[in-house]
A = this chain, B = another copy of it.
């Protein structure tokens, strides 16, 4: 096991990060005129940070089909806007009430709460505007398919639905009846899994790929998303154990069900490894060596140290 991305993966991550950052800078509104502060806050929320995991999934899956990069990068930027909106709203005082995100003050701290609500709202709209624009793909049926998929995956039956379940779960946890394994898997699939699925599928949609190819990417992403969450829980568990000498992290202390809490350390590690292997074999069987970045990404997701 290694805790560094392979050279090929590291190069792809760097390349996509740089290209998506440039695209976001170009696509986000300029901070000028009467709405300068809103634009500035949107840029603060989107630029200069994050692993760009979703962007890399879009581009790596699109690369399998030789989709022109200028198209996949636009879709990647749209998904990163959507993801950024969800983080800004999740951090609000009435939600998770977080003051820091990636070491920087959250948007409602750096600006104010009303601006944070509006930033999220505007970023969501902007994501759909980017997808619907003819520069994303000349074929309008592909643009409409992208919009519909993102809307469904990010809405009440997807990401936002998962967030609602998470809120209810915290109350249940505080009342002493945290989620069971099946429920936490459903929560994570909605809250983070569906946007990860959309990211991996988007390359196939851009290419007008067939249903089997889309399914392979979809199944890859479901396993990857869950492996990612379990790995996150393991990292939190290990860092809190190391840092403060106790065996439970913040989430567990708050009565929140975690994979580590439910499965135990060893089983959680085994489960993450099994999901990673399954994700890798799914795309290697369908696409062969052209899916090497996706395969290495799945490996990295459970071996990274942050």
Give residues in A with beta carbon < 8 Å to B.
29, 34-35, 37-39, 42, 85-86, 89, 92, 94-95, 112-115, 117-118, 120-122, 124-126, 128-129, 131-134, 140-141, 143-145, 147-148, 150-152, 154-158, 160-161, 163-165, 167-168, 183, 186-187
B117 engages A92 (CB within 8 Å): yes
Contact of A155 among B89, B122, B131, B165 (CB under 8 A): B122
B141 engages A117 (CB within 8 Å): no
Q: Please name 20 pairs of A and B residues whose Cβ atoms are closer than 8 Å in the assembled complex, sorted by A.
A: A35-B161, A37-B164, A38-B156, A38-B164, A39-B156, A89-B117, A114-B167, A121-B121, A122-B160, A122-B161, A124-B125, A126-B151, A128-B150, A129-B147, A129-B155, A132-B145, A140-B140, A140-B143, A143-B147, A147-B147
A151 engages B164 (CB within 8 Å): no
Cα separation A29 to B112 with both chains bound (whole Å): 32
A95 engages B122 (CB within 8 Å): no
Cα separation A156 to B134 with both chains bound (whole Å): 20
